[in-house]
């Protein structure tokens, strides 16, 4: 039976493909206060602004491509069972060939009904006011906004509990509930933490690689004996 590698990824891996990180140091996302464009209250106050904001993010997604870190993780499936749990809303993991990806915070290329959270549609064009679900309710981005539940978190916890090896890539692991996932892997699970500015140090079972995702993943795979 193949060993199970669980990979937790954040904005850092997508940033190397040209996708802006969720929140810059000034607290803005693409020039917007995140509370205006990433909360239910913001959507209620100005739905056109929010829809346009995600339309622009969706367009940007079609202008970028996966980087070597994405492809290296996809190739791990040749030798391991791999589950990627990502905080990112892009599809770069899927485009690089990863077959088992869980999106904690939703997906840019999907929308859902404002009436029924389980009514989810694939969506690659602009979403505007008047685009409705089959029951006549406005569609919204399939994104988990601040203040909303993270529906996939319990599944992610259960998956982490089955990890033989853990990779943490491009995330400070400070945003909850995602930050708590590393506590659900079995004790003493070999862990590789890849981030250019790590906020933890190496221990017996934790290897910290203070590099970007592209170079750090390649280095981790060599340590693992896979390259």
Asked if 30 and 53 touch (Cβ cutoff 8 Å), the reply is yes
Residue 161's closest CA among 44, 3, 48, 6?
6
Burial 178-205, CB ≥16 within 10 A → b, else e: beebbebbeeebbbbbbbeebeeeeeee
* Angle, helices 68-75/213-224, rounded to nearest 10 degrees: 30
Residue 105 annotated to the active site:
yes
Q: Is the dihedral of CA 142, 144, 145, 151 positive or negative?
A: positive
Which position among 105, 137, 142, 205 bears the catalytic label? Answer: 105
First to last CA, the chain: 20
| 68: Cα within 13 Å, side-chain hemisphere | 10
Active site positions, annotated: 105
């Amino acid at each position: 039976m193949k060993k199970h590698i669980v990979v937790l990824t954040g904005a850092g891996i997508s940033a190397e493909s040209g996708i802006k990180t969720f929140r810059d140091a000034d607290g803005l996302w693409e020039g917007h206060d995140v509370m205006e464009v990433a909360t239910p209250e913001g959507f209620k106050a100005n739905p056109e602004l929010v829809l346009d904001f995600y339309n622009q993010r969706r367009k940007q997604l079609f202008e970028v491509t996966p980087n070597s870190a994405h492809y290296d993780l996809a190739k791990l499936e040749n030798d391991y069972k791999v589950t990627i749990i990502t905080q990112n809303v892009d599809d770069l993991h899927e485009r690089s060939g990863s077959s088992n990806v869980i999106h904690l915070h939703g997906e840019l290329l999907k929308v859902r009904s404002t009436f029924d959270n389980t009514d989810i549609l694939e969506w690659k064009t602009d979403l505007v006011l008047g685009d409705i679900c089959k029951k006549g309710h406005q569609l919204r981005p399939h994104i988990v906004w601040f203040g909303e539940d993270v529906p996939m978190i319990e599944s992610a916890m259960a998956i982490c509990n089955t990890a033989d090896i853990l990779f943490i890539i491009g995330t400070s692991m400070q945003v909850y509930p995602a930050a708590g996932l590393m506590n659900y892997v079995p004790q003493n699970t070999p862990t590789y933490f890849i981030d250019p500015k790590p906020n933890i140090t190496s221990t017996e079972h934790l290897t910290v690689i203070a590099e970007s995702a592209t170079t750090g993943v390649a280095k981790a795979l060599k340590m693992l004996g896979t390259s």
